[in-house]
Each structure stands twice: as C-alpha cells, then as structure tokens.
Amino acid sequence: MKKRRILAGIMAAVLVAGTLAGCGGGGESGSGSKTEGGSAGGEKVFNYSYNSVVVGLNPILNTSAPDNVAHNIICDPLVRNAKKADNTTEIIPAAAETWESSEDGRTYTFHLHENAKWNDGEPLTAQDFEYTLKLMADPDTAAVNAWLFDGVIENFGEALYSKDGKTAEDIGVKAVDDTTLEIKITHPASYFTELASSVYPVRQDKYEEWGEAYGSSADKIICSGPFEVESWSQNTEFVAKKNENYWDAENVKLDKIVMKVIQEPATAIQAFINQEIDVVATSDLNWAEQIEAANMSTTEIVPDSAPEFLMFNMENEYLANTKIRQALSAAFDRQEFVDTLRDGKALPIYSVMPDTMLIGDKSYTELVDGKNYFVKELQEEVKDPKALLEEGLKEIGKPADASQVTLHYASRGTNELSKKMAEWYKQIWEAELGITLEIDMMEWNVMWDKIDAGDYEIAVGGWGPYYNEPSAILMLFDPETGYFNADKLGWNNEDSKKFKELCESATDIVDEKEKAEIYLQAEELLVKNAVIVPEYLEQSPTFVANTVKNYFVSTNGMTNWAEVDVEK
C-alpha cells in the first residue's frame, strides 16, 4: 500500500480478499486476549494473517505484497511513510535521523543515526544505502523495482538501461561519510522522501557471500529493522522477533510478530473471532455483524490506495484492437461488480487513480475537474458494447460474429473469491457480448509468471503505489521501463510512445494544474483506450482487537511496527 510500499511494489500486485493483518497475542499459544500482557509467557506477540505466502526476503528481487509486508517489519529504510490516526500518514525517521533538501530541490542529504546497526551488531552505514541503490541500478541485478528511480535519481535510468555509457557507479548517490548519504535527483520532486521510504538496504558482504540464496531462508538474511527473522515456513508462517540491536530498540513495544498464511477469508475471520489473530478485514456483511456483536474490536473503514484492474495482452489478435478492448471494458457494471462480489465493501473505480491521489496539496481528480473518469465516459458513449466489438472484428478482417471469439481469463488464485470473479466475468461477457470466455484457474504466483512471460490473454492486476503522486501509477505502464511494460502488455504502438512522452514531460512541470492536465492526457490513452480496465478499490471494514494499540488503518503508508503495542 504504499503499499505504497504496498506497496510496491507491490509485489507489485496487491492481492484481493484476505490480504489482511492480524495482531495480538500468543504466538504459538494463541492470542493476546487469552494470556496476560498480550501473549504466552508475558511476551507481547502480534498475530497477523495474509492470504498468500512470503515468497522471499530479498528486497531487491522479492516485491510481492506479502514480501513487502515482511520487508517493512525487518528492514529499516531511510525514512518511513507511517500510517497515523484518522487516515493520515507522516514521514518519520527510520535509518536516517534527519534529512534536508537543497534550495533547488535536487539534492537530498540524509543523516543516519550514529547507533544504527544491523541485527548482528555491525554498523548500518550510508555506504550500505549507496551499495543498495547502485546494485539496483546495475542491469545485471535485474532489480524488480529499479524502474521507480529511472528519471528520478541522476543517471539511474541511463545506468539501468545501459545508455550513454553510464554504469551504476555514475548514479547520483554518494556516501559522504559513514552517516551521511547524498542523493541527487533530476528534477524537484515533492514525493521523493516518500519514494525513499521504499529503499530497504542490503549489506554488501552478505549479499556477495550468499549470492542468489540471499533472502531465501531465515538463516540467509541480515536485518536492519525493529525486528529480525526468528523462523520462516513459507506455507505456514513468518515469525519476527524484536531486534535488540535496532537503534530505537528500547522503544519497540512488541516482542514478536507472527505473520500467518490464511488463504480463505472465512478462516481468517474465524481466527479473529477465536482470538488467534487480532486484525482482520471482511466485505462479508454477516461476518462483520458477528464481529461487531462480540464487542471485541474497533472498526476502521478507509478506501485502499491500490487500484485493481484487468489487463489485456495486446499480442492477442483480438485484444490488439482498441474497439474490442473498449467493448470488454464498457460491458460490465462496476457497481454491480462490487455489490455482487464484494458485498458492497469496495469502491467501483472509473479511473486508474484513486481520488486520494495528490499533486502537491490537491487531489489529481480535483485538479482535472473529474475528467479522469474515463470508464464512465466510455460507457456513456458506448450504448451497445456488442456492436462496438463487432466493429472491432471487422477492422481486423474477421466476420462480425462474436460467437466465433474465444478469450482466456487467467485467475489470480484459486480461492473462492477468485473463482467467483472468473465466473462473473464469464457470465457477463458471454451474455453482453456473445463471446466465449475460457477460465484458466491457477495460483497467483503462477499467473504472475505467465504475465512476466507474456503467456496470457486477460488477467487481473493491482498495484499499491510507492508514493502518492500520479506518476507512481502511470509509470507502471511505461512501455519500455514500467513494471507492466510492453513485454507484459504487448502495448507497443504510437499510443504507447505518446503515453511515454507525456509522462516524461510532466516531470519538469512545476505548475500543479498543468502537470495534472498532462497526466490526464496520458491516462486517457491508458484507460479510455482500455489498455487496462479499472475495477475497484478495496474498502472493507478492518477490525482491530481492543487489546491492540497504535495499529492504524490508512489509505496510504505502512505500519510503523516500532510503535504497535499489545496490552492486557
């Protein structure tokens, strides 16, 4: 979520239903409300659940949503974009105690805590962050989220894509001394400190010693955050214990965090009711009523910042046609979708931008006067989606017979919600458009492997932006450097080139209204032309056990685990 740090990337992709956290008490023994002080033996243990496994602990290569959650627990970035009360966030010190930017906004200097350490007692230094960022800029590393810094840190993109003879050594990152890191950026960026909160450091000696095994097991990871890895069983649970060498260890409240894998939402809810986990979210009204009746928790409802969307592989002969994609987008009702599949506990979206997305101090939606709701605009224009599809078939030299069209939908998981979503799309598109939709059920990690290989036709994606500015989402779809680039989407035409030009031109614009209008043109190419199809934002009630303190629910930001507490 920032996920933004959701989240980031998200994975890059944010998973639906049950990607929920839980906190409370008893580690292996149960919940905090069953034992004194929040857990067994007097320990304070926060029990947390997620609906999919932590794939790996290498922050350079492992960036799925659950991976990012684990990184946020065991790693200390330069700063944290921390969730606070009342759906707010705040940039707070992490490895860096203080920081400042130059008058022209193009040089940031971070001053690390004198007593910052790794969990083995070795100093955490500015050189560690320099090494990490240069490692990410090295194309041989294949860092998943390196693209985030292309066009932001000086020479980063040139090094990453081997342009102009630049290498990782040329990027604008320098350890001035052990506790001072200087980063030069290409243009003033108000969101840069937010982006810096996504840089989780690795240590050179360990990274080189363990090689590809870095982060693959509990004994092949070095930690810099408030917690360190105690144990990790990929399909069962991830356990982190308090890092006694953390620079602020004396103020860390919890002794342990237990992140359990609970794939089915109903199972997670029952675990919450049984006081086995202490935070859960649900879109199911019946479950929500049972939880509220138990009077064991507080309730928070905020919209997520991570848009869910359909993506099309434009290498497919049908999906390469704009009118056919637009027909698929126009043919389904987003409100009906969330009412049917999410029990109304989600927000239908008609733009790829959440309404909370900012440019400066104003929302993007406000700055463009709501003209970014391109899905609504498309649906108002397209009164007969089937007729539009038939026009598209004629354009590609096919008979105007929708019954001859067969498309494949790759599910993002095999849980009950994923099955229902697939079946819903099949029912709607076959009824409204007359096509045939074949459902390929598969686990989410298999689906993402197929997307990476361009081996799919229609799939569900999502992204928790790493900072709260439109480029955090739009640049995902840069055909050359974005996470969802042309290799994954097959978007490689004049529109994609224009999209890239617009996004790049916006970086040098200071006027917020002018910048927003450029982003609007880029989004029109992406959404109005149905390269992707926005679906919804999660907005399920989150229930937090009464025994938990300082666990905040917010649209943006990441949990500051150092302040979370479990009381009697």
The sign one gets for the Cα dihedral 164, 59, 172, 153 is positive
268 alpha carbon, distance to own chain's centre: 21
9-219+541-566 adopts what CATH topology? Dipeptide-binding Protein; domain 1 (3.90.76)
Max Cα-Cα span within the chain: 72
Q: How far is CA 260 from CA 21, 35, 71, 235, 473, in A?
A: 9, 19, 15, 9, 29
Q: Which helix (H) or strand (E) holds 49?
A: strand 45-50
Number of Cβ atoms within 10 Å of the Cβ of 44: 24
Query: Is residue 515 classed as helix, strand or coil in its secondary structure?
Result: helix
The whole-number pLDDT of residue 568 equals 61
pLDDT one digit per residue (tens) for the chain, 568 residues: 333 332 333 333 333 322 222 222 222 223 333 333 344 558 999 998 988 889 999 999 998 888 999 999 999 999 999 999 998 999 999 999 999 999 999 999 999 999 999 999 999 999 999 999 999 999 999 999 999 999 999 999 999 999 999 999 999 999 999 999 999 999 999 899 999 999 999 999 999 999 999 999 999 999 999 999 999 998 899 999 999 999 999 999 999 999 999 988 889 999 999 999 989 988 777 888 889 888 889 998 888 899 999 999 999 999 999 999 999 999 999 999 999 998 777 899 999 999 999 998 899 999 999 999 999 999 999 999 999 999 999 999 999 999 999 999 999 999 888 999 999 999 999 999 999 999 999 998 899 999 999 999 999 999 988 889 999 999 999 999 899 999 999 999 999 999 999 999 998 888 999 999 999 999 999 999 999 999 999 888 899 999 999 999 998 899 999 999 998 6
List, by residue range, all CATH 3.90.76.10 domains of the chain. 9-219+541-566
**φ, ψ of residue 233 in degrees (nearest 5):** -115, 110
Specify the pLDDT at position 41. 58
> From CA 374, how far away is CA 371, in angstroms rounded?
7
Q: How many CB atoms lie within 10 A of CB 455?
A: 12
pLDDT score for 2: 32
Assigned superfamily of 308-538: Dipeptide-binding Protein; Domain 3 (3.10.105.10)
Q: Would you say 469 and 305 are in contact if contact means Cβ atoms under 8 Å apart?
A: no
pLDDT of residue 18: 29
Amino acid at site 66: P
In the β-sheet with 532-538, what is the strand arrangement from edge to edge?
346-348, 532-538, 308-312, 458-462, 406-410, 436-440
Please, are residues 247 and 113 in contact by the beta-carbon 8 Å criterion?
A: yes
Q: How far apart are CA 351 and CA 361, in angstroms?
A: 20
Region(s) of the chain under CATH 3.10.105.10: 308-538
pLDDT, residue 351, reads 98
Count the Cβ atoms, other than its own, within 10 Å of residue 234: 13
Q: What is the pLDDT of residue 7?
A: 30
State the pTM of this model. 0.78
Residue 385 pLDDT = 98
What local confidence, expressed as pLDDT, does residue 322 receive? 98
